């Protein structure tokens, strides 16, 4: 291991070595790209344009790249601020990537990442503006659902970056006041792996111990107050719900404004969760229309069917989206594993409509994939809304849609996860003329 000021040859760099580097462009994942004698470093806690001393945290001789932390800033940019949280920094909590960056610059960095992913993976040049989402306090106190890890002594805390080690904390500044107010960080949780705290829109906060309470997680009530939809939804405390208090309403309006669903149209909502987008589509198309929603999680489907009772023209199909379409996410025909004869593919689900006017795709972080995109395009929708939590996955799926004759007509990005590198996008695709 080198001393802090001892020169190190690039090929010999290993964990613990320190080098001075210039911070280059921001990259997907919350780090900047730097080089030491041509060797690529992914450096956290730096800002593009800075000169920093970087300590290697992962990798060694022969690796394609190294990971590092900026442990000393030798030349700061004007956008650098003192992190508000004492646990945000090299070797500490891995939850926040950008607390050392002024909030407006955080959004510019996120926009740059979305632009770069679209340019590299979809060959699309598009200027992106990351919009704030109402409901946080200068980027803090926005998480309504927070998972705390538990160490061997039963203390709740956060995991260190890219580690299973638990860092006990007294507070988490991106967690909501009602989450912290449960006293979760001052309790003893011996025997648990994690403790989930949910502060729903309606009712008191809920603490769920995992694994003890995992199978008996309570149902909570979450409200959506959007222009296109205003109503409550029941969702499991362990189920999926947007963690920023303004996110659900913001995304609903972005989707409906982009798709402009019309009375009597047929809609498809994929990866539908507990029915938020399905309900908004149902309100727009009315009882003469139809909404088919597809969701794999059995608990979410059971809750969704209750949530959409007031709009009986919404029909839920339980199953993985690729399986419901009769394809695999790899692009192969579903069921074509070794041992199944060719020519005998799994059939699409009988409840899938033969066509759709508009489609909402809200896939997990891995994206929808080519096979699902092609199955959706085969329904010939006039417009498609793609809700993305990962810019790289969105860019890959954008490329597939462009190949199949759809144009990216609108793209909005939202800062639904301040202080982190994450960004949510709503992209609208429409059939290209001709």
Check if the beta carbon of residue 157 is closer than 8 Å to that of residue 168.
Answer: yes
Element containing residue 411 per DSSP (H, E): strand 406-415
Catalytic residue among 85, 172, 389, 425: 389
Could you give the strand order of the β-sheet that contains 156-159, starting from the edge strand earlier in sequence? Answer: 166-168, 156-159, 145-150, 194-198, 206-210
295, burial (CB in 10 Å: exposed 0-12, middle 13-18, buried 19+)? buried
Among the listed residues 113, 6, 176, the one whose alpha carbon sits nearest the alpha carbon of residue 413: 113
- φ/ψ of 228, rounded to 5, equals -85, -15
267 catalytic? Reply is no
How far is 120 from 117, CA to CA, in rounded Å? Answer: 5
Check if the beta carbon of residue 414 is closer than 8 Å to that of residue 278.
Answer: no
Among the listed residues 115, 131, 387, 348, the one whose alpha carbon sits nearest the alpha carbon of residue 269: 387
Q: Give the C-alpha distances (Å, rounded to integers) separating 19 from 4, 6, 13, 89, 97.
A: 8, 8, 9, 18, 21
Give catalytic residues, as residue numbers.
389
């Amino acid at each position: 291991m080198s001393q802090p000021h001892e020169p190190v040859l690039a090929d010999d760099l290993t964990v613990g070595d320190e080098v001075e580097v210039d911070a280059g462009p921001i990259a997907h994942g919350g780090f900047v790209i730097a080089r030491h004698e041509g060797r690529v470093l992914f450096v956290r806690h730096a800002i593009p344009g800075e000169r920093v001393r970087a300590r290697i945290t992962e990798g060694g001789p022969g690796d394609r790249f190294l990971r590092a932390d900026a442990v000393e800033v030798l030349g700061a940019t004007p956008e650098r601020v003192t992190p508000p949280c004492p646990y945000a920094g090299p070797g500490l909590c891995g939850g926040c990537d950008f607390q050392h960056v002024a909030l407006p610059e955080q959004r510019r960095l996120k926009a740059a990442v979305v632009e770069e992913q679209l340019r590299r993976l979809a060959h699309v040049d598009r200027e992106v503006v990351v919009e704030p989402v109402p409901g946080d306090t200068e980027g803090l106190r926005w998480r309504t659902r927070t998972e705390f890890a538990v160490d061997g002594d039963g203390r709740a805390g956060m995991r260190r970056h890219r580690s299973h080690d638990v860092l006990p904390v007294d507070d988490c500044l991106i967690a909501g006041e009602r989450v912290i107010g449960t006293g979760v960080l001052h309790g003893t949780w011996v025997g648990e792996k994690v403790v989930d705290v949910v502060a729903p829109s309606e009712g008191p906060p809920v603490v769920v111990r995992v694994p003890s309470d995992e199978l008996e997680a309570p149902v909570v009530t979450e409200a959506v107050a959007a222009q296109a939809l205003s109503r409550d939804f029941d969702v499991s405390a362990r189920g999926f719900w947007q963690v920023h208090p303004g996110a659900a309403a913001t995304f609903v309006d972005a989707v409906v404004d982009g798709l402009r669903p019309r009375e009597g149209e047929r809609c498809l909502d994929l990866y539908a969760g507990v029915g938020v987008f399905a309900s908004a589509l149902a309100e727009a198309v009315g009882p003469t229309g139809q909404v088919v929603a597809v969701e794999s999680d059995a608990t979410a489907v059971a809750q969704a069917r209750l949530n959409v009772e007031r709009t009986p023209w919404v029909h839920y199909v339980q199953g993985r989206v690729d399986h419901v379409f009769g394809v695999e996410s790899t692009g192969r025909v579903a069921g074509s594993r070794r041992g199944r004869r060719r020519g005998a593919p799994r059939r699409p689900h009988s409840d899938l409509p033969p066509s759709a006017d508009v489609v909402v795709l809200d896939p997990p972080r891995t994206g929808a994939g080519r096979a699902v995109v092609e199955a959706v395009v085969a329904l010939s929708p006039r417009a498609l809304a793609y809700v993305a939590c990962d810019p790289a996955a969105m860019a890959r799926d954008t490329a597939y849609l462009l190949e199949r004759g759809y144009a990216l007509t609108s793209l909005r990005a939202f800062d639904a996860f301040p202080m982190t590198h994450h960004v949510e996008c709503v992209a609208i695709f429409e059939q290209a003329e001709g």
